[in-house]
Amino acid sequence: MGYRVLIERRALEYVNSLPPKSQRIVKDNLRKLRENPYPGSGLGERKKLTHKGESLYRLHIARSFTAFYKIYDETKEVKVLKVMIIEAAHKEYCKL
């Protein structure tokens, strides 16, 4: 069994505010995290980051959006914390 993908309320509200085509692209890519959320498994451009000593991951989606997420192996869950346009995500990197 794969991972369960959970999306923070604000992240989901943002995704639902996008045009229908963008919503579909983002949601389809987030669903792919069910199979294997770790970088290097061939499903999108993913990278491991470190924030305050904790592992955090980012996923680039269609060269337009970035999702930040955490992986919980114990419960087999992926929690999507934020979804934003790539330009805004680059500003987030400065905060990490």
* Domains present along the chain, CATH in parentheses: 4-95 (3.30.2310.20)
Distance CA 8, CA 21 (A): 21
Give residue 90's pLDDT. Answer: 74
More reliable by pLDDT, 78 or 42: 78
Return d(Cα 14, Cα 23) in angstroms, integer.
9
pTM value? Answer: 0.89
Instruction: Give the pLDDT confidence of 44-57 residue by residue, as tens digits.
Output: 688 999 878 889 99
pLDDT value at 13 more than 80: yes
pLDDT at residue 96 greater than cutoff 70: no
